[in-house]
Amino acid sequence: MLLVVVVVLLLCRPLDVRGADVVVDGGDQKQGAGVARRRVDVGVILDRRTWLGNISWACMELAMDDFYEEHASYSTRLRLHLRDTGPDPVDAASAGVDLLKNVHVQAIVGPQTSAQAKFLAELGNKASVPVISFSANSPCQSPSQTPYFIRTAWNDSSQAEAIASLVQQFNWRDIIPVIEDDDSNTRFIPDLVDALRKAEIRVPHRCKIHPSAGADDIKRIISSLKDKWTSVFVVRMSYQLALSFFQHAKDEGMIGQGFVWIAAYGLTDIFDTVGSPAFDVMQGVIGIKPYVNDTKQLQNFRHRWRKKYQSENPGTSLSEPTVSGLYAYDTVWALALAAEQAGYVNSDFLLSEKNNGSTDFERINTSKAAKMLQSKLLNIDFLGMSGKFHIQDMHLLSMTYEIINIVGKEKRVVGFWTPGLNISRSLNMKVDIDVIRWPGGDKTTPRGWLFPMNKTLKIGVPAKPGFAGFIRLENGIYKGFCIEVFKEVTNALPYKILYRYEEFGNGKGASNGTYDELVYKVYLKEFDAVVGDITILANRSLYVDFTLPYTESGVRMLVPVQDRRQKTAWTFLQPLTADLWLGTGAFFVFTGFVVWFIEHRTNEEFRGPPVSQIGSLFYFAFSTLVFAHRERIVNNLSRIVLVIWLFVVLILQQSYTASLCSILTVEQLQPTVTNLDEVIRRGGNVGYLNDSFMPGLLERLKINKSKLIALDSPDEYNEALSTGRVDVVVDEIPYLKVFLSKYCHNYTMVGPTYKFDGFGFAFPRGSPLTAEISRGILNFTSSNRMAQLEKELFSNRTCPDKDDSQTSSSLTLRSFLGLFIITGASSLLALILHVAITLYCHRRDLSSASNQSSWCGWLAILLKISHDGDRPNAPQKDEPPVTNANITAESPWSTPDHIIENVDSGSDMESLPEGDGRPDREDFVQGPDPPSFAYMHSERG
């Protein structure tokens, strides 16, 4: 289709080509003795009214001289046919037809713009002639569609990768391309966006400027950029348009602190060609351009080029060729090498018999000589002025880009980009790049975004009549916990944010919709943010970005509490459980039995008729409960048992007293409902905060919609719960804490905590303020100011939890099991030792009874031993005193009952009368019994 357009335009437009007769031959036409060299005709299409055209033509002329001076023996010579066509792509196409039809060129070099290259690429395809450009970008078609179009310049996709690496180096997340809306950026922008996407960098907006845009158009575009949050811009446009754009941007304060301007290659040569005007309006700009090694050969070439160019263009300020000029030099050098390698091929264009003028497009046919020249050119490999020359994928192989920084009148090289090292200060190792002077002279790396200039955020706030502690309007000023948190966080930012609040209400103090609808207003761009008690939910995050939460998260139930413990006539039994009562009684009886068993043989107070002994046993045992036992204990074993038992009784008594006191004086408040399933089973009503997300949550928990009752304030919560209109209220923890600060003693939070993320501030998706505010919240929530705000919100009151984990304060047997084991083991051990000692002391009686074979005899002896005491502690009145009874063997475990009387103070102890002569018996005078412990205690009192 494009070829048809070219034909129509050429047929309708007469040929008007300036400089059509400019021809440059390579070297002499004769060699030695009149031998002519073979010529290879090459067409050159340039616009010499431009800096690029003039610079490139001068470089190409020097390339012809240098090459054939160095390769004088070559048998081929290039002949360059210059056509100065101007910027018009149709003029360039017309010149291309003329060169192909009339001059029979085997290659065309130099279409400067992409629009010219697009037309000439079609002509190259038609004639099989290579079209070589060292300045134009790739046309829209791929290399497979334009196989004869060759760029002897670096591929734009590699430049896009360098820019993406540079943006990633400084952790900028968003950029805006600012480009000229012409064919030169047709392929560059997709390549740039793809490279940025791989680096996870967003392009929220693209700014295109028409080549003929006037001052008003540029001002309007700059104003639109000022309203964007992004402050990183990649610029690629023509020199004159760029000067106008940056001048207006400087006037609007956008070439200042916080902004980042990256000039892509194609614009960075402006500093070489335009000079001071470009430096003045582009201070702090960083640029990307191909790296050229400064060799001695290049230095010599610059010197020769300067002399030639300044002599042909008096008054110019140019001191060296641009990179595109070096590409032009290397292109001619490569064509000369390819022509020599291809050999001589006669012009083989097939011409028609009719000659209808220079625009007769049908007379052009394919050229085998041009095909051969292209084949050799694609394989040329040498080190040129611009670096390594090697064609790959119809482009010059990309190598290294240098990063320049405009400071004053200087282009400072601050780093390089290479495919292996990415951004580095060195070409051989990974090193941080030099410090960059950003616009405004700041050395601190900009954040990559700025609060839009002269913009005031419109912040939506919910109408909150019930819970005024979170947000409220007083005398036209918004106050409350949420407002204070937002104000504190934004005031701590290193920049000022302008904002104003707008209530989401109906003008009568009530909300204008649900919180979901309020959040959706941010997505619709009716609000720039939402500040308030907005819960972070998954469905809301589909439309906005939330900051980190600044409150406690979760949803729980609010239920009434009641005193479950009733005071009755039998309340005194509640401190101990039934098993502990039974266990304690059993040990009372067991301990009394052990003491009685040990004492009754030697202690008169534990002797007597069986009924009396049983009474004494129980009386002694239970009197230890109040430490009121009066019986005298004379055996060491029973004393040990009694001391351990009294310790156990002391602990039991104190524990019982404390527990009974708690039961009689402390309320045992417990929730009326412990879980939501219980409410669902009995069909109770559930209250929730109006306009919140609770209905959706409760319906997901299988609660009938008809059982849900919306409430608006803490007072309504209290009224609904106290009257039984609702069984429970389900709400978020911050609301429940506010409620409990007022109604602490009648209600409590119970049940599982349903996880949610708490309250957060909502911003548009992709807003850089989200991350900034989130970092501020992290710092603020750990401060004393946050604790102070929470105390003010919750009225500085704490309400103890009254949940279903509270149980009866009754003491259990398990709590005293260790004590019972100790006292039981000691009593049992004392009993065993007493039996063993007693049997040992009566071993003679037992040995005499061993001659009897009946069990009755044994039993009688044991009963006699158990019943008859060794020596009562006082003689009976109806019994004569017994002296030296042979059954009273005193043991080391028994307490002696014998008291030695003193005749008088200070006299010697009298000798007792001797007995009947038996050596194992002695008579002692029995003294009076010592007073009991209880008696002594009463006497002291």
Confidence of residue 801 (pLDDT cuts 50, 70, 90): low
Point out the least confidently predicted range of 179-183, 341-345, 491-495, 763-767.
Answer: 341-345
Q: Indicate whether 315 and 279 sit together in one domain.
A: no
Nearest to 735 by CA among 801, 779, 690, 766: 690
CA angle 759, 781, 750 (to 5 degrees): 55
Same-domain check for residues 164 and 149 = no
pLDDT of residue 8: 46
The beta strand positions in 155-222, using DSSP E, are: 176-180, 207-209
Determine the Cα–Cα distance for residues 339 and 26; give it in Å rounded to an integer.
Answer: 12
Residue 304 included in any domain = yes
Confidence band (pLDDT; 50, 70, 90) for 637? confident
Helices (H), 313-403: 323-342, 368-377
Are 516 and 586 in the same domain? no
**745 located within any domain:** yes
Give me the torsion for CA of 834, 837, 839, 843, rounded to 10°.
-170
**Residue 59: is it exposed, middle or buried by C-beta count within 10 angstroms (0-12/13-18/19+)?**
buried
Is 287 within a domain?
yes
- The pLDDT of 555-571, averaged and rounded, is 74
CB 229 within 8 A of CB 768: yes
The backbone region for 900, taken as left when phi is positive above 0, alpha when psi lies in -120 to 50, beta otherwise, is beta
Residue 912 lies in a domain: no
Show contacts of 51-54: CB within 8 Å, 24+ apart.
Answer: 51/239, 51/273, 51/318, 51/322, 52/112, 52/135, 52/273, 52/322, 52/324, 52/325, 53/84, 53/112, 54/309, 54/313
Q: Are residues 324 and 384 in the same domain?
A: yes
CATH number at residue 73: 3.40.50.2300
Would you say residue 802 has pLDDT above 80? no
Written as six digits, the tokens of 22 are: 């400019």
Question: Would you state the pLDDT for residue 512?
Answer: 84
Does residue 493 sit within a domain? yes
Cα(845)–Cα(865) distance, rounded to whole angstroms?
A: 9
Across the range 751-759, mean pLDDT stands at 82
Nearest to 258 by CA among 494, 547, 432: 494
Regarding whether 287 and 199 lie in a shared domain, the answer is: yes
Looking at the structure, tell me whether residues 46 and 141 fall in a common domain.
Answer: yes
900: pLDDT strictly greater than 80: no
Domain end position, chosen among 665, 685, 709: 665
Between the alpha carbon of residue 105 and those of residues 22, 102, 359, the distances in Å are 14, 8, 16
100 in a domain, yes or no? yes
The per-residue pLDDT for 350 is 47
Are both 271 and 407 inside the same structural domain? yes
How crowded is residue 151: how many other Cβ atoms within 10 Å of its Cβ? 25
Distance in angstroms (rounded) separating the CA atoms of residues 203 and 4: 37
Residues 414 and 280 in one domain: yes
End residue of a domain, out of 604, 631, 665 = 665
* Residue 873 confidence (pLDDT) above 70: no
The answer to whether residue 227 scores a pLDDT higher than 80 is yes
Coil, helix or strand at residue 167? helix
pLDDT category at 221 given cuts 50, 70, 90 is very high
Q: 363 falls in which pLDDT band (50, 70, 90)?
A: low
Would 877 be classed as within a structural domain?
no
pLDDT tens-place string over residues 52-79: 899 999 999 999 999 999 999 899 999 9
* Distance in angstroms (rounded) separating the CA atoms of residues 719 and 296: 94
Residue 815 covered by a domain: no
Give the whole-number percent of the chain exceeding pLDDT 90: 32
Report the number of secondary-structure helices (H) and strands (E) in the chain. 28, 32
pLDDT, tens digit, 9 for 90 and up, residues 664-723: 766 556 676 777 888 888 888 999 888 888 888 888 888 888 889 889 888 898 999 888
What end-to-end distance do the CA atoms of the chain give, in Å? 130
Q: What CATH number does the domain containing 505 carry? A: 3.40.190.10
Query: Do both 167 and 304 map to the same domain?
Result: no
Of 35-44, 468-477, 557-566, 799-808, least confident by mean pLDDT is: 799-808
Q: Quick: pLDDT tens for 102-124.
A: 888 999 998 888 888 888 988 88
pLDDT tens figures, 499-555: 999 999 877 777 888 899 999 999 999 999 999 999 999 899 999 999 999 988 888
Spatial separation of the C-alpha atoms in residues 55 and 47, rounded to whole Å: 11
Are 450 and 225 contacting, i.e. CB atoms less than 8 angstroms apart? no
Residue 82 binned pLDDT confidence (cut-offs 50, 70, 90): very high
3-state DSSP assignment of residue 876: coil
Is the domain of 511 the same as that of 407?
no
Same structural domain for residues 210 and 189?
yes
- Domains of the chain: total: 5
Q: Is the pLDDT of residue 582 over 60?
A: yes
Convert the pLDDT of each residue in 877-893 to its tens digit.
444 444 443 433 344 44
Q: Which of 154, 118, 165 is nearest to 6 (CA)?
A: 118
In this structure, the answer to whether residues 539 and 590 fall within a common structural domain is no
| 368-426 pLDDT tens trace | 888 899 999 999 999 999 999 999 888 898 889 999 999 999 999 999 999 888 999 99
DSSP state of 449: B
Q: Which domain holds residue 492?
A: 457-551+775-783
Long-range contacts of 615-621 (CB under 8 A, 24+ apart): 617/589, 617/592, 617/593, 618/589, 618/592, 620/592, 620/595, 620/596, 621/588, 621/589, 621/591, 621/592, 621/593, 621/595
Give the model's confidence band at 249: pLDDT under 50 very low, under 70 low, under 90 confident, else very high.
very high
> What is the rounded distance in angstroms from the CA atom of residue 531 to the CA atom of residue 516?
13
